[in-house]
Homo-oligomer: A and B are copies of this chain.
Amino acid sequence: MKWTSIFAIVVLALGVLCWGQRLLEIPEYDGRDRVHELTNKNYKTVMKKYDIMVIYYHKAIGENLMARKQLEVEELALELAAQVLDDLHDKDIGFGLVDVKKDVAVAKKLGLEEVDSIYIFIDDEIIEYDGELAAETLVEFLYDVIKDPVEIINNERELKGFFNLVEDIKLVGYFKNEDSLSNQKSFLIGLTVTSVQIATNLKLDLNEVNFYEPFMDEPVIIPGKPYTEAELIDYIEEHDRPTLRKLEPHSMYETWEDDINGQHIVAFAEESDPDGFEFLEILKEVAGVNTENPDLSILWIDPDDFPLLVPYWEKTFGIDLSSPQIGVVDVKDADSIWMEMDDEENMPTANELDIWIEEVLVGKIDPNDNEDHDDFDDIDSEDSDEEKEKKDNEEEDDADKNDDEINYNDD
């Protein structure tokens, strides 16, 4: 695909800046074509050229002009990512496109399954990326993929750093040598401890691995040591839906698809705001109490991570995101119902929140009961947004007052 004019010229414009100023200029696309269109004929040759191959398995475009334009925007993000990673000195990272209709054979041979996903081929592994299709987010994800997922904890400060990683699933094991834990699964940070002192602090026996859910202070000892790699991976996959998880740009669509009976319990809380922080602490406490419940997974969204979506969410859900909120969202029609919090200075207690969650789980609180929202389903035009907004705001202000809470959910 040819990219001309604007992007190439912007880069030339930056070229006249002095070096010191350029240090902080976020790169723009330079117009060079780096993303390969993979076919049955070229895919093996192309893939052999790179240490890591990033393949976007996209919808068929065909004659559909809209789909074609959308793909152009997405390809632009991939081109920028490819351009930036051109400068990496230790790895060659290639980018490719596979069309679900045109390249059926390639997709089959490579094992691509989910359309609109990105597959990363590294060594003998395939890692799926189902996050925001933006150069910045994808590139950051790729750095994590390249990085050795196993870190050695040598001292107290590194241990503090380990405990500071609260948002991801993490494993820690105590081994005599560094090679004993070599789990390559992405985004599962394996950490090994070789010091007796630190193992003692963590109450770890030799060859034992502890599993930490996100936001949990207390680990679970993985049973059956010593483990094979396969056993560890099995355990992790069985336990990879945590009680409380954070929506993050690099995995947002994957997380969203992992709903429970078509619904998500969604909590909005801004960590950098004292009220948001307080609510998050309460959430963690409730999650800690319910950590054994496989039917509960609360999705925490920090509005700071998605600034461009905040006004849209406020409008769609009829809530004010400048203070914390918790609600249940139907993933199909975006119907939702939100916990009544009378005052942002007066958060619910952990106990009140626990009772509310219990009512959600047994179906006493259900977004589909909130019938005022049904008009959403029929609207697919942008034109009436302003009218709709006013109407929604009025309706949704009243939403929480709806006492008629019978479960119409037929799942």
Chain A residues within CB distance 8 Å of chain B: 5-6, 9-16, 18-20, 22-24, 26-28, 30, 65-67, 69-70, 72-73, 80, 84-89, 132, 134-137, 139-140, 143, 147, 151-155, 157-158, 160-162, 164-165, 191, 252-253, 256, 271-278, 281-282, 303-304, 306-316, 322, 329-334, 345, 376-377, 380-382, 385, 389, 393
CA distance A88 to B18 in the complex (A): 39
> Which of the residues B134, B136, B155, B312 comes within 8 Å of A87, measured between beta carbons?
B312
The 21 listed contacts between A and B (C-beta, < 8 Å) are A9-B66, A13-B70, A19-B333, A20-B329, A26-B132, A26-B309, A27-B308, A84-B312, A87-B315, A89-B314, A135-B308, A139-B310, A143-B322, A154-B345, A157-B282, A158-B275, A158-B278, A160-B281, A161-B278, A162-B274, A165-B272
> Are A88 and B311 touching (Cβ within 8 A)?
yes
> Are B334 and A30 touching (Cβ within 8 A)?
no
Residues of B with C-beta under 8 A to A376: 19
> Which of the residues B9, B84, B381 comes within 8 Å of A69, measured between beta carbons?
B9
> Are A311 and B9 touching (Cβ within 8 A)?
no
CA distance A282 to B160 in the complex (A): 12
**Smallest Cβ distance from A220 to chain B, in angstroms?**
21
> Are B161 and A274 touching (Cβ within 8 A)?
yes
| Known pairs A14-B70, A24-B252 / 10 extra A-B pairs, C-beta < 8 Å | A13-B67, A16-B66, A20-B329, A20-B331, A23-B334, A27-B308, A85-B311, A139-B310, A157-B277, A161-B276
